[in-house]
């Protein structure tokens, strides 16, 4: 058997060889085998640039018609040879292109062989509902550090989405009957399974999302931690017994699961956000259907494989934790589906608004975690040794792609110049490089589109009066690297300052008074995270009070990022109002009933009403 390269050389030098040797010796075995099975399409995604080949259509040109004229025979034979040559060349070229594309996938390179430890391969199923599948579009996942393809995922079709929802609803009938502490035991096992794979899964997050390795591992650790939290919570959730005003009556609150929870997550935290929702939803008695970000599908597949393994070991339906990789069509179906008891959406305010309207249209329940235009306020009495590392970490961590990233740094006029100089000096020392290098502190943006957003934001900032103190350039290296940037001189209400741009640009503002700073903090549309640095305890409590920060996360002497799982995570206004993870966030995954039980032989009415 000739190699594909050899075959191509032969095709180019002597088309007649095809006629002499016949069709079979030049068609790769995979294509030859499927050619007899009916319409065969060598499916790839657009990024691979491989042509689709419809063999029956091509073979139609091979059909020999009856030729009654002997004079036409030479012409007929020549025409047939040309047709056969064109057919075989098309098939071989397509096979060659696909083979070449497969060989360039990172998963096939020895350096990235660890990906196979997570059960990943060249082309992966993107649907799980107890069985694996995927008949939709094939998408390629790219590494942001070099824009090279990692592997592929076959997304869900709408028919597969429908099948998955039906299986999830059936699985809920089993899961809801299991006592909450027993459900907690399953979640504990999920946490243990994640612990065993924490380094390799963290490496995948780093490779596919672009955040540095320690952040990737830390993100998986968040899922592990919330599993531990949920295990304890499984023995504590419940409503109070309330005093009844009627004798012989009991008044209680009963909490029950909402049923099916649809979880739509974003690219920047492809593991942790699912974990916050999944662990809490499970112990509450719900089943989950996950649609991860289209640009991090390998992480979704890898996490689901780990969770599915735990369910299978316990002889539980895999559809308890289902997954459908897909695009806007799957997300829209989740939002509009009345069988979905809660839609938890994490993403931009723009898309979140659309999701919210679709869910509200059917009077559904939603949990929204959207954007944040977060500020750190530094007063004249602040400890600058705390301020500088806090501001740097919160503004450049995850390359500015956290919802809690500090985007506005408000400095009292007495410390403004000193703090700017210190932070600019610190920016110069940031180690930029491959995200999986343990010495790297700052990696790439997630996509090329994010690089364009960075450039557009810089142009707008300069047009609106801003001065670039540090950075401001796209880096000349493979991947989606940009310089972390500091901009001063803008007005607090400049349009670009009021806009959340998901890139590492820090806008530095100068203020004069506490009232002014608090007002500026609250004037943006989002209300996720905020922080002040001060030693004045009176100011601290004013900041925490009704006239202080209007955000869901209100910090003192720590940065805006780095929330703990024990507290409720979420924000106000255009951030969406949802709460995930700790505190009483579990209530969002359950429905409450107020129950009155009459254990007497009388029938007294409330408020002393008599009806005789």
Active site residue ranges: 369
3-state secondary structure of 600: coil
In whole angstroms, give the CA distance from residue 194 to residue 7.
Answer: 47
Residues 545-570 as b or e (16 or more Cβ within 10 Å = b)? eeebbbbbbbbeeebbbbbebeebbb
Neighbours of 197 (CB within 10 A): 18
Phi then psi for 591, rounded to 5 degrees? -110, 145
d(CA 574, CA 50): 43
Neighbours of 591 (CB within 10 A): 15
Cα gap 257→280, rounded to integer Å? 11
Q: How far, in Å, are 198, 307, 320, 547 from residue 314 at the CA level?
A: 22, 11, 12, 52
Strands 553-556 and 590-598: unpaired
Give SS3 for 48.
helix
Spatial distance between the Cα atoms of 153 and 121, rounded to a whole number of angstroms = 9
- Which helix (H) or strand (E) segment holds residue 261: the answer is strand 260-264
| C-alpha–C-alpha distance, residues 474 and 233, integer Å | 47
- CA distances 126 to 148, 151, 208, Å, are 20, 12, 16
**CB of 287 within 8 A of CB of 321?**
yes
């Amino acid at each position: 058997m000739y190699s594909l390269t050899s075959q191509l050389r032969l095709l180019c030098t002597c088309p007649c060889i095809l006629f002499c040797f016949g069709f079979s010796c030049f068609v790769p075995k995979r294509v030859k085998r499927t050619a007899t099975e009916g319409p065969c399409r060598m499916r790839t995604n657009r990024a691979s640039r491989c042509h689709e080949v419809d063999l029956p259509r091509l073979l139609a040109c091979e059909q020999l018609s009856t030729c009654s004229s002997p004079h036409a025979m030479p012409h007929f034979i020549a025409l047939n040879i040309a047709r056969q040559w064109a057919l075989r060349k098309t098939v071989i070229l397509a096979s060659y292109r696909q083979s070449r594309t497969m060989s360039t996938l990172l998963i096939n390179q020895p350096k990235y062989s660890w990906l196979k430890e997570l059960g990943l391969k060249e082309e992966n199923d993107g649907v799980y509902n107890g069985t694996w599948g995927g008949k939709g579009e094939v998408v390629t996942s790219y590494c942001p550090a070099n824009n090279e393809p990692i592997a592929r995922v076959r997304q869900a079709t709408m028919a597969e989405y429908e099948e998955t929802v039906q299986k999830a609803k059936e699985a809920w009938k089993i899961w809801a009957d299991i006592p909450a502490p027993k459900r907690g035991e399953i979640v504990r096992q999920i946490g243990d399974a994640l612990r065993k794979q924490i380094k390799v899964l963290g490496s995948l997050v780093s490779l596919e999302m672009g955040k540095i390795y320690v952040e990737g591992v830390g993100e998986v650790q968040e899922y592990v931690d919330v599993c531990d939290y949920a295990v304890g919570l499984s023995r504590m959730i419940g409503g109070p017994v309330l005093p009844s005003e009627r004798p012989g009556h009991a008044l209680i609150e009963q909490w029950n699961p909402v049923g099916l929870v649809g979880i739509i997550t974003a690219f920047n935290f492809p593991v942790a956000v699912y974990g916050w929702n999944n662990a809490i939803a499970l112990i509450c008695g719900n089943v989950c259907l996950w649609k991860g970000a289209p640009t991090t599908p390998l992480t979704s597949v890898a996490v689901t494989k780990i969770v599915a393994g735990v369910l299978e070991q316990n002889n539980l339906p895999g559809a308890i934790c289902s997954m459908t990789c897909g695009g806007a069509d799957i997300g829209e179906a989740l939002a509009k589906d009345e069988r979905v008891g809660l839609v938890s959406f994490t993403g931009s305010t723009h898309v979140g608004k659309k999701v919210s309207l679709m869910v509200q249209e059917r009077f559904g329940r939603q949990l929204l975690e959207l954007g944040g235009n977060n500020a750190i306020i530094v007063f004249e009495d602040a400890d600058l040794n705390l301020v500088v590392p806090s501001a740097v970490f919160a503004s450049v961590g995850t390359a500015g792609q956290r919802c809690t990233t500090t985007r506005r740094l408000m400095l009292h006029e007495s410390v403004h110049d000193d703090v700017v100089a210190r932070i600019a000096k610190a920016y110069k020392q940031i180690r930029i490089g491959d995200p999986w290098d343990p010495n790297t502190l700052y990696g790439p943006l997630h996509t090329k589109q994010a690089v364009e957003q960075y450039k557009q934001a810089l142009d707008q900032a300069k047009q609106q009066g801003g001065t670039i103190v540090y950075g401001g350039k796209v880096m000349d290296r493979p991947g989606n690297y940009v310089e972390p940037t500091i901009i001063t001189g803008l007005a607090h209400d400049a349009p670009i300052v009021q806009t959340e741009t998901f890139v590492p640009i820090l806008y530095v503002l100068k203020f004069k008074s506490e009232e002014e700073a608090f007002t500026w903090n609250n004037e943006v549309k989002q209300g996720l995270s905020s922080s002040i640095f001060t030693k004045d305890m009176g100011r601290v409590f004013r900041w925490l009070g009704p006239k202080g920060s209007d955000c869901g996360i209100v910090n003192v002497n720590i940065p805006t990022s780095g929330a703990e799982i024990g507290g409720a995570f979420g924000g106000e206004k255009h951030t969406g109002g949802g709460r995930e993870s700790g505190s009483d966030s579990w209530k969002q995954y359950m429905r409450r009933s107020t129950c009155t039980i009459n254990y007497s032989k009388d029938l007294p009415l409330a408020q002393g009403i008599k009806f005789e």
